[in-house]
Amino acid sequence: MPTPVAVPGRHLYRVTEAMKLLSMSRSFIYEQIRAGRLRSVKQGRARLIPAAAIQTYVQMLIDESEVSL
């Protein structure tokens, strides 16, 4: 019997999906992109957020909240 192969997680998310993952509005997501706090890429006309960028952004928010405590 062949060994099952793990299906890789998603690498790119549309802005609407990132909105749900981060519980943030569309305008706030775009504001964070413009400010350079959340990385994104363009594929044709679509703006996509790399999964790694979402993880980095969440960690940055955690780090910022720990500094302010």
pTM: 0.81
pLDDT digits (tens, 9 = 90+) for 15-66: 999 999 999 999 999 999 999 999 999 999 999 999 999 999 999 999 999 8
> Locate tokens 């999964």: which residue?
51
Q: Where are the domains of the chain?
A: 12-68
d(CA 69, CA 42): 36
CATH 1.10.1660 fits 12-68, yes or no: yes
Residue 2: per-residue pLDDT = 60
